[in-house]
C-alpha cells in the first residue's frame, strides 16, 4: 500500500493541490449522465463537432513517432522536459491520470472517451463550474491560450484548519472520439508567464484512445512505461542515475490514490 508522501517542495504541493481539486470538483464532469441538459430538459449549449487542433493536442493517428521525446503512458504520450517530475494517479487498480510537476507549478492530464462527432468540453465546463460554485467557489470562464477555460477559486482547508481558496485553471480540448482535460495549479494558475511550458506540454500531448468501444466520458486508462520504477510514497530514491527519468525528466512516482473516479 502506498501512502501519501511528505511534501518536500512547492512543486509537490502544487501537484497535490491539483489532485484535491479534481477529486472534489471535477468528478461531476465525468459522472454526469445528463450531458449538459438543464432542469426541465433545456440544453445550455449546442453540441458541436470538435474544432481543428492545428497546435495540438494530437491524436495518435496524427503523429508519426509519438514516443519521440515523450513518455509512453499507453493512453497518453506526455512530453518530457528538463527538470520535470511525473506522477500518476490511480482509481482502484487503474492508472487514470498523470501530473507533470515543474518547479512550483503543475498540470494534471486526463483523457476521456467522447462521442464520434460531438465535443463535450462545453458541457463539461458547465458541470465543473456548477460543482465549484455550489461549494462556495468563484468561477471565471475566459478564452485563454488553450481556448475556452475555467479559472477557479476553489474553497480548501488550510493546514492551520482555517478556510481559504486554491486558484486553478481547468483547460480542455476535444479530439476525435476523445477529450483531454488539464488542471493547472500552483504559480501557473495565477501568473501567465509561469504557465507557458505547462501549456506547451498540454498541447504536445498525444492521446491514444484505441479502437475499442467506450462509453462517452469513460477515462482512458494509462500504464507505466516498461522501464519505469514505481516509487512507494515516503521512500526516496538514492541513485537516480539508474532511472530513465533522472536528470532532465525527474522521477516517475505514484501520487496519492484517488478513491473514486465516476
Q: What is the pLDDT of residues 100-148, one digit of tens each?
A: 999 899 999 999 999 988 899 999 999 999 999 999 999 999 999 999 9
Q: Which pLDDT tens digit goes with each residue over 46-81?
A: 556 676 787 889 999 999 999 999 999 999 999 998
Query: Which residue from 202, 189, 199, 185 is spatially nearest to 78, judged by alpha carbons?
Result: 202
In the numeric block, which cell numbers belong to residue 205?
Answer: 500531448
What pLDDT band is residue 23 in, cutting at 50, 70 and 90?
low
Amino acid 1: pLDDT:
27
Does residue 1 belong to any structural domain of this protein?
Answer: no
User: Is 70 exceeded by the pLDDT of residue 192?
Assistant: yes
Does residue 262 belong to any structural domain of this protein?
Answer: no
Segment 21-25 long-range contacts (CB within 8 Å, at least 24 positions apart): 21/152, 21/154, 21/156, 21/166, 21/168, 21/183, 21/185, 22/97, 22/108, 22/110, 22/183, 23/258, 23/259, 24/135, 24/154, 25/128, 25/131, 25/132, 25/135, 25/137, 25/152, 25/154
Does residue 158 belong to any structural domain of this protein?
Answer: yes
Q: Which residue has the higher pLDDT, 226 or 94?
A: 94
Contact 112, 219 (CB under 8 A): yes
Does residue 76 belong to any structural domain of this protein?
Answer: yes
What is residue 261's three-state secondary structure?
coil
User: What does pLDDT average to over the chain?
Assistant: 76
Provide the domain limits for residue 175.
10-33+48-234
Does residue 230 belong to any structural domain of this protein?
Answer: yes
List the CATH number of the domain containing 26: 3.40.1000
In the beta sheet, which residues pair with residue 245? none
Burial of 155 (0-12, 13-18, 19+ CB in 10 A): middle
Among 37-41, 53-57, 207-211, name the most confident range: 207-211
- Give CA–CA dist 101/81, Å, rounded: 10
Q: Which residue has the higher pLDDT, 166 or 232?
A: 166
User: Is 90 exceeded by the pLDDT of residue 257?
Assistant: no
Does residue 40 belong to any structural domain of this protein?
Answer: no
Kindly state the average pLDDT of the residues 179-199.
93
Does residue 210 belong to any structural domain of this protein?
Answer: yes
Amino acid 228: pLDDT:
65
- Give CA–CA dist 68/241, Å, rounded: 21
Q: Which residue has the higher pLDDT, 59 or 9?
A: 59
Contact 220, 209 (CB under 8 A): yes
Q: Which pLDDT tens digit goes with each residue over 210-255?
A: 888 999 999 999 998 776 655 555 544 443 332 333 222 333 443 4
Residue matched to cell numbers 500531448: 205
Does residue 2 belong to any structural domain of this protein?
Answer: no
Question: What's the number of domains the chain is made of?
Answer: 1
Amino acid at each position: 500500500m502506498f501512502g501519501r508522501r511528505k511534501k518536500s517542495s512547492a512543486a509537490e504541493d502544487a501537484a497535490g493541490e491539483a489532485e484535491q481539486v479534481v477529486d472534489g470538483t471535477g468528478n461531476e464532469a465525468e459522472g454526469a449522465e445528463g450531458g449538459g441538459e438543464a432542469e426541465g430538459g433545456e440544453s445550455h449549449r449546442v453540441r458541436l463537432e470538435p474544432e481543428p487542433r492545428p497546435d495540438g493536442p494530437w491524436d495518435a493517428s496524427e503523429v508519426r513517432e509519438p514516443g519521440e521525446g515523450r513518455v509512453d503512458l499507453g493512453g497518453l504520450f506526455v512530453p518530457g522536459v528538463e527538470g520535470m517530475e511525473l506522477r500518476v494517479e490511480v482509481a482502484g487498480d487503474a492508472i487514470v491520470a498523470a501530473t507533470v510537476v515543474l518547479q512550483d507549478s503543475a498540470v494534471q492530464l486526463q483523457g476521456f472517451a467522447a462521442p464520434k462527432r460531438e465535443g463535450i468540453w462545453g458541457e463539461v465546463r458547465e458541470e465543473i463550474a456548477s460543482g465549484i460554485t455550489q461549494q462556495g467557489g468563484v468561477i471565471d470562464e475566459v478564452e485563454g491560450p488553450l481556448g475556452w477555460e475555467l479559472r477557479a477559486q476553489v474553497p480548501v482547508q488550510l493546514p492551520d484548519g482555517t478556510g481559504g481558496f486554491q486558484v486553478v485553471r481547468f483547460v480542455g480540448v476535444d479530439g476525435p472520439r476523445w477529450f483531454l482535460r488539464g488542471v493547472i495549479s500552483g504559480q501557473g494558475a495565477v501568473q501567465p508567464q509561469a504557465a507557458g511550458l505547462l501549456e506547451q506540454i498540454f498541447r504536445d500531448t498525444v492521446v491514444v484512445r484505441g479502437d475499442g468501444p467506450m462509453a462517452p466520458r469513460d477515462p482512458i486508462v494509462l500504464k507505466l512505461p516498461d522501464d519505469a520504477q514505481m516509487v512507494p510514497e515516503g521512500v526516496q530514491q538514492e541513485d537516480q542515475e539508474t532511472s530513465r527519468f533522472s536528470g532532465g525528466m525527474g522521477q516517475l512516482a505514484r501520487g496519492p490514490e484517488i478513491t473514486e473516479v465516476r
